Amino acid sequence: MSSSKTIWYVSKYVAPPQGESVGGRGYELMRELAALGHTCVIVTSDANHLAETPTLTEPVLVQQRDGLSVHWLRTFKAATAKSWQRIVSWLHFEWRLSRLDTSKLPAPDAVIVSSLSLLTVVNGLVLKRRHRTRLVFEVRDIWPLTLVEEGGFTPANPLVRALGMVERLGYRRADVIVGTMPALGKHVREVLGEEREVHCIPMGFSGRAIPDEPAPEPPAARSAGGPMVVGYAGTVGITNALESFLEAARSLRDEPGIRFVVIGDGPLLASFKEQYADVGSVSFVPKVPKDRVAAELDTCDLLYLSTYPSKVWEFGQSLNKLIDYMMSGRPILASFSGHHSMINEADCGSFVPAGDTDAVVAELRRYAAMPPEERAAIGARGRTWLLEHRSYERLARDYHEILFPGTSLPGVGVEHSSSA
């Protein structure tokens, strides 16, 4: 039977996409589900330091925008992302959420609670019982594993233990588990010691922001015989693993056919500029607004992605950077040790082990030896695959089938055959 449903999406970090806004995925998915005919409510906070949020003078601000009902909760703001204040901000959001008068909201057919904050799953269980509805536990960051692997905490740390209890509670009690990473099911099995069905709704792109014309032709294809430009775009920080990229540039500095560009800013930028000042083939370009990233990527022939080795990556990745890279129509070299996805599925680049400078150098020489037309064809496959598989309109339809298996979309008379 076809009918409109009401969906609540609850997350401390969800906001309308703007610039480099963190939380845009959830907003885009709800906007597309609303466009399909569902009633969608977002409950979020004004404490997202990476997004533009309204100024709240009252505990709650309600806005109607893009077909959504957005409820902003005034929450304590942390001075930095990595501080004890962030935990306080999490707790304050949960307190505000627990005090929210939900009787004024349309009764939900499904409640999605999305990490971070992981603690929101506790409030989600309360909402599940209070409204007799389905609870979806959506995992965008695997906590507390990230704290251990990348934050320097030990498994015995009291905070890690406490968050581990919350994580297990969510995996056991939620009706549905959704992750942005493709192999989250493996992690859930390790945590619970038993199988649970886990779905993947990854990062995507908004078709509203993408022009219909094909990707610009790579510069090397426009002017054969010029150097191959290898680009990295993003934060230049301690988690971005750019050492192998820059060491590869040092190894190849006497080869005029390869040049390197780093586009972005971050805490390690000044030290990298000093450390690699003698490598003339490397250029550092200042950070550009989000709407200018595509133009900067257009100047490159090959794009570079890197991470440090971490157990977190065993369960896959879903990175905004990879969406931008693939949309550019450029081939991608990923220095990444973990569960492979997207690049291999689209056949639009290659992987080398994380931190292996020699492997990076070998792959760069291989790409440099290719005819520009071959590199262009590899990159074009990535854009084609992305346009087919990762629009938020398509991902919203996938989410509908997960949330309401066996039902058709509002206004559509034919039922889906998927049992999700």
Q: What percent of the chain has pLDDT above 70?
A: 90
Question: Helices in 328-371 by DSSP H: which ranges?
Answer: 343-346, 357-369
Would you say residue 418 lies in a domain?
no
Q: What is the domain-level CATH number for residue 184? A: 3.40.50.2000
Shared-domain flag, residues 248 and 178? no
CB of 244 within 8 A of CB of 357?
yes
Query: Based on the domain organization, do 104 and 137 belong to the same domain?
Result: yes
Which domain does 64 fall in, by range?
6-204+391-403
CA 30 – CA 10 distance, rounded (Å): 11
DSSP state of 149: H
pLDDT band at 52 (very low <50, low <70, confident <90, very high): confident
- Total of domains in the chain: 2
Residue positions counted in the chain: 420
Segment 137-180, tens digit of pLDDT: 999 999 999 999 988 899 999 999 999 999 999 999 999 999 99
Q: Are 13 and 61 in contact (CB under 8 A)?
A: no
Query: Which segment of 27-31, 168-172, 410-414 scores lowest on mean pLDDT?
Result: 410-414
Could you tell me the pTM of the whole model? 0.92
24 falls within a domain:
yes
List the helix and strand counts (H, then E) for the chain.
15, 14
What is the full DSSP assignment across 223-265?
Answer: STTSPEEEEEES--STTS--HHHHHHHHHTTT-TTEEEEEE--
